[in-house]
Amino acid sequence: MKFAKKILCVTLILAAAAGAVFAGGKAESAQGTGQIDKIRNVGVLKVGVKPDVPNFGLLNTATNTYEGFEIELSGLIAGEILGDASKTAFTPVTAATRGPLLDNGDIDLVIATFTVTEERKLTYNFSTSYYTDAVGLLVKKAAGISGIAGLNGKTVGVAQSATSRKALEAAAAAVGASVKFAEFATYPEIKAALDSGRVDAFSVDRSILRGYLDSETVLLDDAFSPQEYGVASKFDNKELAAYIDGLIRKWLDDGTIKALIDKYNI
Ligand code: GLU
């Protein structure tokens, strides 16, 4: 009898302790200490996007709004977290600024033609890829360059912190071409260097190059080094990263992402 009472007593104490832990967990989530709760508390999803990649992320200067596939993807995520696809705050990013902006907590996510690489996975979380592009080459029509082999001895403009230089080095070596590089902070600067003749070609993902195509230039058929774009988050934010990955997987499965890719014809 005495023993049974003791057992009951211990059970009650354990149950109470478990209840306290559970209540503590609940209280914590209600106050918003989780990474997704924090976004809910702020009331807006902060996303770093490209301002200058038509059909992916483009700032429409006439309306001062962002448009494109990656902008709609950001809205879908905001819809899931905040129940309203318009609750997004966009920050324009470049290949060089997007990582530091995540690191210092200025933005929650980067959805900006950000290629998933093994090296980058050591410092950022990436979702399952939502789009695959390839690196390409933009040259002046007048230069008469018809393919990567024609770049032997020429200078190619690439962006700092982009995957382009490494990709092009490998592709050029494969056809026995030796290429020189000039690195720039932004894509408009590379295009200006191409126009002025300072570089002979502009190399980056083909989706980005399409935005710089004009009557004087041609996008070569060369397409090398697949670029898988993922949604990136700060390395510590594992809870947010797992949640975002779940959404991307769901939208890959149910055709949502395919419909957006078709909509933008990309
Ligand atoms: N997608 C490539 C990268 O992540 C090109 C750079 C860019 O996205 O601006 O490095």
Domain membership of residue 149 (yes or no) is yes
Tell me, yes or no, whether 184 and 248 share the same domain. no
Q: Does residue 121 sit in the same domain as residue 161?
A: no
Question: In the beta sheet, which residues pair with residue 137?
Answer: 203
Cα 136 to Cα 146: distance, rounded to the nearest angstrom: 12
Domain count within the chain: 2
Best residue among 55, 113, 210 to mutate for probing ligand 1's pocket (most ligand atoms within 8 Å of CB) is 113
Q: Is residue 16 part of a domain?
A: no
Q: Are 210 and 241 part of one and the same domain?
A: no
Which tokens hold the place of 188? 């408009």
Q: Whose CA is nearest to atom 10 of ligand 1?
A: 162
Q: Which amino acids bring their CB within 6 angstroms of ligand 1?
A: 95, 113-115, 159, 162-164, 204-205, 208, 227
With tokens 């992320």, the residue in question is 57
Gap from CA of 50 to ligand 1 centroid (Å): 10
- CATH code, domain carrying 57: 3.40.190.10
Record the tokens describing residue 264, joined without a space. 């933008």
Q: Are residues 180 and 58 part of one domain?
A: no
pLDDT tens-digit series, residues 31-43: 456 999 999 999 9
CA of 57 to the centre of ligand 1 (A): 13
Q: Are residues 246 and 210 in the same domain?
A: no
Q: What are 86-134's pLDDT values in tens digits? A: 999 999 999 999 999 999 999 999 999 999 999 999 999 999 999 999 9
Q: Structure tokens of 253?
A: 């499965």
Residues 220 and 248 in one domain: no
Residues 57 and 78 in one domain: yes
* Residue-wise DSSP of 166-234: HHHHHHHHHTT---EEEEESSHHHHHHHHHHTS-SEEEEEHHHHHTT--TTEEE-S--EEEEEE--EEE
Residue 31 located in a structural domain: no
Q: Are residues 92 and 144 in the same domain?
A: no
User: Which atom of ligand 1 has the smallest separation from the CA of 187?
Assistant: 9
Query: Chain-wide mean pLDDT for the chain?
Result: 90
- For residues 144 and 200, membership in a common domain is answered with yes
Domain annotation covers residue 163: yes
Contact 225, 165 (CB under 8 A): no
Establish if 46 belongs to a structural domain: yes
In a domain, 6, yes or no: no
Q: Which atom of ligand 1 is nearest to the CA of 204?
A: 5
If asked whether residues 119 and 235 sit together in one domain, one would say yes
Query: Domain residues for 216?
Result: 133-227
In a domain, 17, yes or no: no
Tell me the pLDDT tens digit for each residue of 204-262: 999 999 989 999 999 999 999 999 999 999 999 999 999 999 999 999 999 999 999 99
The two beta strands, 52-53 and 57-60, are antiparallel
Residue 26 domain-assigned (yes or no): no
